[in-house]
Amino acid sequence: MKKAGLYIRVSTPHQEKEGYSIEAQKEKLAAYATAKDYEVYKTYIDGGFSGAKVDRPALKEMIEDIEDERLDVVIVYKLDRLSRSQKNTMYLIEDVFLKNNVDFISLQESFDTTTSFGRAMIGILAVFAQLERDNIKERTMLGRVERAKKGLYRGGNNTPVGYVYNNGELVRDENTAEIIETIFNDYVYSRKSMYEIFKDCHTRFGQILYNPNFVKRVLTNDVYIGKNTFAGITYEGKHEPLVSEDTFQAAQERISNQDDRYSSPKTNRSALLARKLYCGYCGASIVKLNHYKNNKAVYAYYTCNSHRKSRPSGIKDPNCPQKNRRTEYIDEAVIKELKNIDFDKTIKKLQSTKPVSLDTHKQLRQLEKQQSKLIDLYQFDMIEIEEYNKRLKSINKQKEKLAAKIPKKNRALIKVLESLKNFDWDNSSFEEKCLAIDSLVKRVICKDEDVEVILYD
């Protein structure tokens, strides 16, 4: 008797009304398996997941069972329940199912992969599934354009600093609006450089300013004068401006001035790991020195302060056995460690100081997705405004409760970690590397060739 895997997916409440509910699909698939004399090995259910991607928990579990030779056939109610992407559909059928000698059957279209006609039909139907998805994306884009025309922010997860996204509109955030006002005033009226502003604000407001480029993005974002720019077109927004148009225009003029072009930040230090390195033997700080030949610096090296008799205050152990090491060796070892950081694991550890039943950050992401889908449903007139407001209020309340579980200090550090996930260590400038290290690294312990990197906790 063949072992069958029943795969079920529902992404929105609207699909349930169309007969795609989990129970409806399960009933039809189980009846078909019984009629075909198949043994149902397992029912795989992905509720609330889009068909655009294959990154779905139940689908992943089914693929593992297929690769472990636990299934002989996969049955779905309709082809787009498996995937709405032509590329992903063909990948699953050809590279997962058929490759592992597993048949695929879709009830609605009445075909299976045991016949050449069925395999040909899969390619044709997958094209139409992709067409349907493209149409949905087009309608969603039109809905967002309409929002922009009405002066409403496009929504999503990228709310500009200085505002909060509340009930479909941008509202001034008293906790962060001061940052935006400070940046514009310091740049336009105090004539500070962008990097000076970054350093001052980073010290004053904490690690919410995680990148020097943040300052330029703020200064060039017309959302702060009450505008909405979407798809290259600027509309008048309904939200409150945080700076005057005169101040904003003055900032643009200064930016365009060739004498004040924004370049990589400058730093006075010469060592990448300045004030971060400590000796693993005696605990003294480690500093960078240059080796000279004919009054020219030939190479640089790190040395324990206990070896520097000219600096007695820094000596911890006059007989410290620590060897001098070339700076490039230590620098490269530290960067290698930072490249190998499991950012997701570190972020998860910071998410809460108390154990919670579920991953708080994962729940927040799910709520953000729910909020985005809710906006789309409202744009397509699939729910009434009363129901929209009720659901949105419930989602915002849940988000506030979850956010409260994460300490403020951790929230700032999480933002730094997330911003440095894709940091390009190989092509970034010396100054940019210094900033990244300062944000991440608490100290580095060196004991001859062993290098231990300690991150902020």
CATH class of 163-260: alpha beta
Lowest mean pLDDT among 92-106, 224-238, 312-326: 224-238
Among 180-189, 256-265, 384-393, the range with the most confident prediction by mean pLDDT is 180-189
Alpha carbon of 288 to those of 130, 283, 323, 443: distances in Å? 59, 16, 13, 15
Please tell me the distance from the alpha carbon of residue 302 to that of residue 323, in angstroms, as a whole number.
9
Q: 452 φ, ψ to 5°?
A: -115, 125
CA geometry: angle at 186 spanning 185 and 187, to 5°? 90
Positive or negative CA dihedral for 195, 196, 200, 201?
negative
Please tell me the distance from the alpha carbon of residue 215 to that of residue 187, in angstroms, as a whole number.
10
Q: Which residue has the tokens 């940052």?
A: 179
Question: DSSP assignment of 63-127, as one string?
Answer: HHHHHTT--SEEEESSHHHH-S-HHHHHIIIIIIIGGGT-EEEETTTTEETTSHHHHHHHHHHHH
Q: Which residue has the tokens 């709405």?
A: 84
Average pLDDT over residues 210-234: 83
Average pLDDT over residues 66-70: 93
Beta strand 169-172 pairing with 163-166: antiparallel
pLDDT of 403 > 80? The answer is no
pTM (predicted TM-score): 0.35
All residues at 6 or more sequence positions from 318 whose CB lies less than 8 Å from its CB, including other chains: 306
The two tokens of residue 393 are: 């209020």
- Decide: 175 and 191 in contact? Cβ < 8 Å: no
Strands of the sheet containing 111-112, edge to edge, are: 39-47, 3-10, 73-76, 103-106, 111-112
What is the pLDDT, as a whole number, of residue 355?
41
The four Cα atoms 374, 377, 381, 385 give a dihedral, to 10 degrees, of: -10
pLDDT of 184 > 50? The answer is yes
pLDDT of 139 > 80? The answer is no
- Residue 421: which of 352, 350, 338, 360 has the closest Cα? 338
- Decide: 107 and 115 in contact? Cβ < 8 Å: no
The shares of helix, strand and coil residues in the chain, as percent rounded to the nearest 5, are 50, 15, 35
Could you give the residue numbers annotated as active site? 11
pLDDT tier at 260 (50, 70, 90 boundaries)?
very low
The two tokens of residue 361 are: 């950050």
pLDDT of 215 > 60? The answer is yes
What is the pLDDT, as a whole number, of residue 284?
92
Angle, helices 177-188/194-205, rounded to nearest 10 degrees:
150
- Residue 192: which of 180, 204, 183, 203 has the closest Cα? 183
3-135 belongs to which homologous superfamily?
Resolvase, N-terminal catalytic domain (3.40.50.1390)
What is the pLDDT, as a whole number, of residue 295?
79
